[in-house]
Amino acid sequence: MLGIAQKDRKEIPLKNILGLISKDHQVRFSYIEDEIVVYALTPPDKNWSLEEKINYLKRITRLQFKRISEKYFTIYDDKKVDKPLCGFLIDAVSGKGIENALIKIEKTDFTTFTEANGHFTIPKISSEKIQIQHQGYQTFSISPEELNVPDCPKFRLQPILQSLDEVITHRYLTTGISKKNDGTIVIKPKKFGLLPGLIEPDVLQTMQQIPGIISIDETISNINVRGGTHDQNLFLWNGIRMFQTGHFFGLISAFNPSLAQNITISKNGSSAFFGESVSSLIDISSQAGNTENTNASLSSNMISAEFYSKIKISDNSNFTFSARRSLTDIFQSPTYRSYSNRIFQNTVITDLTTNAIVGYKSNVDFYFYDITAQFEQKIGTKHQFNIDVIAIENTLKFDQSTATLSKNSALEQESFGGSLQWKTNWNVNHSTEFKAYFSAYDLNSTNQTLESNQILAQKNKVMDYGFQIRNTNRINDQFTINTGYQLNEIGVTNFDEINLPLFSRTITNVLISHAGIAEGVYETESKKTFIRGGLRANYFDKFGLFLAEPRLQFSQALGNHWRLEILGEQKSQTLSQIIDLQQDFLGVEKRRWTLANDQSIPVQKSNQLSVGLSFKKNNWLITIDNFYKKITGITSSSQGFMNQFELERAIGDYQVLGSEFLIQKSFNRFYTWLSYAYNDNKYDFKTLNSTSFPNNFEVTHAVSWAAMYEWKKVKLALGAKWHTGRPITTPTTFTVTEANPTIVYNAPNNEKLKDYFQVNFSASKEWRLGATTRLQTSASIMNLLNTRNSINRFYRVNTTDNSVESVDTYSLEMTPNLNVKFTF
């Protein structure tokens, strides 16, 4: 009864209780500080006798109280542990130690982190609770008494896994990448491991490691998913559609790697809440969802420097800011020179006519930056409010001069977007989310030719506005219904102006679309069966066009180790990129966004179905996916032809049959994978002479291998990529007629370039500098063997000798890079 009576009273340190007893009963206690400091308990009733109080303390603390005299007591621990407090944090699912968990003694400044095996130690300095925090696990507290035992106790932590986040594997390719039962692949940069050639978790470089995703020209502004073009992928950042995805015109992701929290990639079977793409979905969310403690990081590599900070304003709100700027206009590192050589090949910068700097001086000034700001506010227990803003800029200035002439050209590419989100959890089974967003993209160039007084000005602008409402109703533990509505307005402007001869053209198109959305999600309690079926009903008022798009995700466990996956979808897209002339926008960023008009540029439509199997046992992971994909309504100007179809304007389609295979194995600190992808990708343009021929982005065979080793805070990664060359069209002869200097070609895409091969290496090491500060250094070498790969080839007339010459674009040469990052 004595113990029960104490439960409603506040716990205080044992030392303070002894002081109160000494005062009340005129006695004194002798003890060793380390033996009692870990105890905190509710004080005994003041009206109890001295004997009752001592018996209570003995029973609760298990300490020994020995009377030395009438007024003196000595206190000792007969099971004394002469060492600091210690413990292990263990993942309850995998049984492995949990690294980098934060251990903090409340009401003190002491903090520490767990080691690779989950072990931690803390001094005996307080009886306050010990708080344990980790992003992937529930936060909880333990008392110092629980650690004050002869052997370091083990605490098993359950990972934070929502019912719809059941995964096939927690480590897909590397730490921080997982594959979910709904077919999506999730990347969490804060948990990121290491990939060959990368020094930081660049999301758009990382996704190219996934089977079926490749960049045929090495840039992240030209990512091809299962044979599609880059503009057919939908890129979202906190609900904002991004029309610019890269810095350095495609070699670096435009999204700050220090910021992103969760990246979801869907190659097929995306949710009905996502539209406007006939290929893949890349959904980037940097909203934490909970109020984190204040933290920051500062880093720099040989291209740029970046800053990130999350500031905890209150228990219910925080503010996040990130900024990154290139150092390219301050100093030219070997990395910058290598990037420049790759990007500015065969452009106005190197003279598109001869691909060589001719008899004049030239100067290139280039820089980029990106900025994000986010505010999160919880209002009561039901509401959450978010504001997100992003700005991206690339600026290139190019000067040419002789002794008497000087001409300036410029290219500016910028994006700005914002979103506002309000989410209300009405109860445990019902929630509503409202989201409003806008996105603006602006591409401007001015090209002054030195040989003449001609000035060409070009602009491409996109404005995207919209809002979406999503309502979620959980019917029971297995079934959930999601419904919603989306309104979207897109406006696109294209402008061209030439001074000699005088010509000006401005074309603006606007399209408003409505979408009604309904989907049901069913998942058994055992997680063995998962089904998501949805329908997106689109209406485009300008065309009076109604499109119904069904979606399907089905996953079924076949025993303990096998899982079957079936994904299917129909999608549409009204916005696409086209190329008018290869030298547009200085030849650097020659694609411009344009809007469907339902005539010369139709609405693109896709049909895709895939069937996959996965096997997981004893740290082995094997997956295989077979798919069929058909896209209709594409235009020849969106495919980047550089042959007899370069100036043609035709409407057609392409269809892909393919397979993707991955085998992965973990051996404690060492893990490796091998992936293979096959694509049979064919065009069908009925109005062209050759109706069916290989797609410009066909990569028939692609193989990727990587091996990673992690030991304490050291990580090493070595990998190689090989794939067949892209299709090209060769001339029939290498001569042209003098009166009409045109090239006569063979059948379109009749040959392929030589195979592509590249080896990449990365290494990183982390040091802990104090309780909360960490230093991470990373180094990488892209194209370790300095292999000279031709990634594109076109042909042009040499008017000097009336011949046809080939011009190759080569891959990135051997490129080192270093990164230093402080986290505090």
Residue 784, SS3 per DSSP: coil
Domains along the chain with CATH numbers: 2-76 (3.55.50.30), 85-157 (2.60.40.1120), 295-403+414-823 (2.40.170.20)
Range from 19-33, 287-301, 558-572, 742-756 carrying the lowest mean pLDDT: 287-301
pLDDT category at 718 given cuts 50, 70, 90 is: very high
Residue 783, SS3 per DSSP: coil
Which has the higher per-residue pLDDT, 92 or 815?
A: 815
Question: What's the whole-number mean pLDDT along residues 525-550?
Answer: 94
Q: Please give the helix or strand (H or E) that residue 35 lies within, else none.
A: helix 33-36
Angle at 524 between CA 521 and CA 527, to 5 degrees: 100
Count how many Cα atoms sit within 13 Å of the Cα of residue 389 in the half-sphere of its side chain: 8
pLDDT category at 701 given cuts 50, 70, 90 is: very high
The one-character DSSP state at 165 is G
Is residue 443 within 8 Å of residue 460, measured between CB atoms? yes
How many angstroms separate the CA atoms of 254 and 730, rounded? Answer: 36
C-beta pairs of 525-528 under 8 Å, 24+ apart in sequence? 525/477, 525/478, 526/557, 527/163, 527/166, 527/181, 527/557, 528/556, 528/557
Whether residue 325 has pLDDT greater than 90: yes
pLDDT category at 451 given cuts 50, 70, 90 is: low
Residue 771, SS3 per DSSP: coil
Whether residue 234 has pLDDT greater than 60: yes
Whether residue 236 has pLDDT greater than 50: yes
Which pLDDT tens digit goes with each residue over 342-396?
Answer: 888 877 766 544 444 444 566 788 899 999 999 999 888 789 999 999 999 999 9
Which pLDDT tens digit goes with each residue over 60-109?
Answer: 877 888 887 788 888 877 666 566 788 899 887 677 788 878 888 887 77
Cis peptide before 501 (omega within 30 of 0): yes
Q: Which residues on neighbouring strands pair with residue 672, listed in sequence order?
A: 665, 707
The one-character DSSP state at 43 is P
Question: What's the whole-number mean pLDDT along residues 720-733?
Answer: 93
Percent of the chain with pLDDT strictly greater than 70: 91
Question: What's the whole-number mean pLDDT along residues 183-196?
Answer: 79
Is residue 248 within 8 Å of residue 339, measured between CB atoms? yes
Whether residue 445 has pLDDT greater than 90: yes
How many angstroms separate the CA atoms of 255 and 342, rounded? Answer: 21
Residue 50, SS3 per DSSP: helix
How many angstroms separate the CA atoms of 208 and 214, rounded? Answer: 5
Range from 2-11, 217-226, 343-352 carrying the lowest mean pLDDT: 2-11
Instruction: Name the packing angle between helices 50-61 and 14-25 (round to 10°).
Output: 170
Is residue 574 within 8 Å of residue 515, measured between CB atoms? no
Which pLDDT tens digit goes with each residue over 455-511?
Answer: 899 999 999 999 999 999 999 989 999 999 999 999 999 999 998 888 899 999 999
Q: Which residues on neighbouring strands pair with residue 465, listed in sequence order?
A: 438, 489
Percent of the chain with pLDDT strictly greater than 90: 50
Amino acid found at 481: I
Whether residue 329 has pLDDT greater than 90: no
- pLDDT score of 291: 61
Whether residue 174 has pLDDT greater than 90: no
- pLDDT score of 1: 36
| Reported pTM | 0.81
Which has the higher per-residue pLDDT, 28 or 718?
A: 718
How many angstroms separate the CA atoms of 157 and 155, rounded? Answer: 6
Is residue 108 within 8 Å of residue 118, measured between CB atoms? no
Residue 209, SS3 per DSSP: helix
Whether residue 723 has pLDDT greater than 70: yes
Sign of the torsion angle spanned by Cα atoms 253, 321, 132, 5: negative
The one-character DSSP state at 593 is E
Question: What's the whole-number mean pLDDT along residues 613-642?
Answer: 93
Question: What's the whole-number mean pLDDT along residues 529-547?
Answer: 96
How many angstroms separate the CA atoms of 342 and 588, rounded? Answer: 11
Relative to beta strand 455-474, strand 430-448 is antiparallel
φ/ψ of residue 664, rounded to 5: -140, 140
Relative to beta strand 295-301, strand 815-823 is antiparallel
pLDDT category at 523 given cuts 50, 70, 90 is: very high
